[in-house]
Structure 1
């Protein structure tokens, strides 16, 4: 009989006591302990079992769970006598920053201090043990949501000191979702304040802490060393491309297929693989996101499970406001193409707005892109660099991005949909009316950044083309021929139904030195379609000239004029 699928459980004890569906990852305990690394940072995308594994570590090692070996009976770690003796023998501090999502530094700082205060409250029996001197007792009572920076910075190290004295053993420190406050700080504009506060806290807790036995931090991203880890030279960083712990987070394909068999769903393997396969950690491909698989086992139908557990606001903002090169590359990825890039797995948040590689690095760390291969190559200076070949992770991710792009036009949903209908019908007057409505409303939505300019509207063009790709999928194959030169972008729509016309679109920006008005720009666009023989491929595939429609789009700021070749 199949076990009960419990949605949303992140506490190891609860899952074990209720005999909920669980895939044994206790080999991670042995692998981590035997690595003997002092401070380990493990990055994985959200909903990949990070919190559950941290709960498992706490309940295996913590003295609070002494004599609770029943939680681990029947699991791989319990087969080793050495580890049976190790269970429940260390003081453990386990905290999570997952809930730090405030809009201001003041409130975020209070939330972090409150989390530390809660840890002190858990161990307030220390105040009654004649363990602390008068000054230490005074310090203990100063720990609160409003404590000073100096008190906060050493709070975790000081608690480690008190616990190691009481238990006569150094402390294990577990910090889950360490980078959530920093992501929120970047989005909400208090990055410098937050990183300064976190840096001092981490320095005393993880670097200059003589009472620390070992520590584990988890998060989505590897924040750059300069931001918060500047003095942490004892840090072992394990990213998605590292070989360590490669099967400890996420489900392997063998584990997924066994789960489908347990729940009588073996006949759905092909469907599950199409939707949810695709993550790669270290040397192991075909890793599946646990959240999607657990929801599939429960609901027995495909759906957007993992991608809908977050607003994806940062990713959406970066792509929407990105330059035309990034949007072009993203069009290629949505079409099933690949991206070859040099990726630095350290995320430098300050560069996300202007560094293309930083954006791809964030998408890789967040799980939206996967590494299909990477190699070390020689650069132009005789050094070496790592080049990654990246693709969209799986069908679930592709659908999520399609929905995101559709929402970009939600503010003018009616106009945009009406434009698509007019385009398909060949109604040039309606196309002009609706396209001007679209551009007036959403131009600034795409034309953003540090130096936005209505004279450089490529951001809008490429966002618009991404929208075409999404709305017309299943009816047309969209391809693009990207020409050099300012503001030009060619789109070919090849019909899947032979009864539909093929469509060629040429975008051009009004150039006052060459053209008198937008009508001249339209004529230049239509002439380019003819001169460059953009219809040659369509004609070669048997589509007649009578079934190829050609349109020139002329842009001047957010004004648009569309003309058709008759």
Structure 2
């Protein structure tokens, strides 16, 4: 049977009644119901099926007079007697914050209140059937009209679950999708404390010590428990991407991909899909990006689908504006290598401003890195991290291309910078680097405080701009030392370059000219060009560069 990909359909009922293809993940429902914990949190990357799973759970559990059994016939959950006993037995509150990405707290609060308004509107029959007391009805109407003050929004889920439990004589299920999207926006735009307080009060009221609660299930990208969002919530269990129990509940396994793409009969096609969309490891299991696989089936082409579905603003902010990705570790990742890092699943977003290593945990949880070789020592989790596939590699490279283009105005200036290196044109290189520094150091606070990060960003920009034709490395062994930048052609007979970068020592009272002299001596005395000549590069340009604030000096050594 031909698999029809449900592009853009995240409502389970719409998907099933449209006859679209569905990879059966309803065993997720059975596992959720069998969990002893009352509240469950599932952090997963975006577009990995979180909303569809919550939608299926909602349709399965929600108490209604309409028989929806046709949606589940033939699926895994329908053969589970324990789960069937809960079919359509509970009132359900389904809340999604996935679209709240505002740039201010005021707009965020209005967005949250609008989401709550929609939830209350679904249950306005409580008001119409006079099922509420007078004071309850007044507060219900304020939420229904999006006029409720903040403190009434805090207790909205708690109160509505109480009304529903009383009316239906059955405990309530609360489903919260993409709970951390507004929190990430708060971090990005500087109102983190306010948005954390809003959600902490709302979640604490709705999920902690709520006697009317049967189950609470939350999804998001991050687990930000140490932000005190779930403070004191001792009925919460977190199933992260490192855990085994729900490893296959989100995303596609390789057998599932092979079956729906027909690649089980075409090994070469499966190899191509592996290279582009595989590489994720959830609980040690190989998982494919479902959004990209579905789009591949729809178009028949391998392309970067997942990375183009939303803005990379936060990734750009972390890697470039805050300077966290301007490092040797990022260079290693972009070159297809791995880095060793400590993993903090309970990520504190504030740590991203204080701990450079926190960015790797964020990128792992967001789906931009994969873990291997997990090690736990005294409760500390460490892993080897690498870029999972070609699609994500392109996302990283796009970030640094954008960064370099912003500093040099347009693509032509980027190409001019690359040409100046490959021609050994010190005068042009000096002018273009100075333009880059003037633009980027005024734009980029973090790198302005640590200019060496910006200089390393230049290396990463070169690495991306020269991809395919050259290998660009920094601090690489060559001759009798490590060159700051080595540009090595992949084909003999092409030009190569070695650059040594210096910042004048203020402690020693060093001038830029003296720093330039020191860089030139180091290139020659340590034989940095040896590897390039051995690789057949011709000609080889040896370039000394000195940086001092927004000023640059460059000199090409004579052959």
TM-score (norm 1): 0.92
Q: Is the 8 A contact 2:226 2:347 kept in 1?
A: no
Note the C-alpha offset of 1:542. Answer: 5.3
2:521 matches 1:520? no
- Quick one: structure 1 residues 309 and 410, their matched pair in 2 at CA, closer, same or farther if it must change by over 3 Å? same
Residue 86 of structure 1: aligned partner: 86
The one-character-per-residue Cα deviations of 1:294-342 (angstroms, maximum 9, x if unpaired) are: 0111111111100111111111111113457852110011111111111
Residue 420 of structure 1: aligned partner: 418
Q: Is the 8 A contact 2:264 2:270 kept in 1?
A: no
Residue 442 of structure 2: aligned partner: 444
Q: Which sits farther off after the overlay, 232-241 or 137-146?
A: 137-146
Residue 551 of structure 2: aligned partner: 559
**SS in structure 1 at match of 2:461:** helix
Distance 2:175 2:521 in 1: 65
TM-score (norm 2): 0.93
Distance 2:292 2:198 in 1: 35
2:63 matches 1:63? yes
Residue 431 of structure 1: aligned partner: 429
The one-character-per-residue Cα deviations of 1:167-212 (angstroms, maximum 9, x if unpaired) are: 1110011010011111111111111111111111111100021100
Q: Is the 8 A contact 1:324 1:458 kept in 2?
A: no
Q: Is the 8 A contact 1:243 1:281 kept in 2?
A: yes
**SS in structure 1 at match of 2:357:** helix
2:382 matches 1:387? yes
Residue 401 of structure 1: aligned partner: 396
Aligned pairs (5 A) from 1:125-144? 125-143=125-143, 144=145
- Quick one: structure 1 residues 162 and 112, their matched pair in 2 at CA, closer, same or farther if it must change by over 3 Å? same
Q: Which sits farther off after the overlay, 405-414 or 461-470?
A: 405-414
Residue 42 of structure 1: aligned partner: 42
Note the C-alpha offset of 1:31. Answer: 1.1
Residue 375 of structure 1: aligned partner: 375
Q: Select the residue among 517, 520, 529 that pairs with 2:523.
A: 529
Distance 1:65 1:533 in 2: 81
Equivalent residues, number:
550
Residue 351 of structure 1: aligned partner: 351
The one-character-per-residue Cα deviations of 1:138-166 (angstroms, maximum 9, x if unpaired) are: 33223242312332221111111111111
**SS in structure 1 at match of 2:170:** coil
Residue 341 of structure 2: aligned partner: 341
Aligned pairs (5 A) from 1:64-463? 64=64, 66-143=66-143, 144-261=145-262, 267-284=268-285, 286-323=286-323, 327-377=327-377, 383-411=378-406, 412=408, 413=410, 414-446=412-444, 448-449=445-446, 452-453=448-449, 456-463=450-457
Distance 1:503 1:94 in 2: 59
Note the C-alpha offset of 1:264. Answer: 8.4
Note the C-alpha offset of 1:18. Answer: 1.2
Residue 466 of structure 1: aligned partner: 460
Structure 1: runs of 5 or more not aligned: 378-382
Residue 495 of structure 1: aligned partner: 489
Note the C-alpha offset of 1:240. Answer: 0.8
Distance 2:331 2:120 in 1: 51
Distance 1:491 1:524 in 2: 16
**SS in structure 1 at match of 2:262:** helix
**SS in structure 2 at match of 1:29:** helix
- Quick one: structure 1 residues 525 and 325, their matched pair in 2 at CA, closer, same or farther if it must change by over 3 Å? farther
Q: Is the 8 A contact 1:344 1:357 kept in 2?
A: no
The one-character-per-residue Cα deviations of 1:59-97 (angstroms, maximum 9, x if unpaired) are: 111113741110011111122344344321211111101
Distance 2:343 2:535 in 1: 43
Residue 380 of structure 1: aligned partner: none
**SS in structure 1 at match of 2:249:** coil
- Quick one: structure 1 residues 67 and 470, their matched pair in 2 at CA, closer, same or farther if it must change by over 3 Å? same
Note the C-alpha offset of 1:392. Answer: 1.1
RMSD over equivalenced CA pairs, Å: 2.2
Residue 25 of structure 1: aligned partner: 25
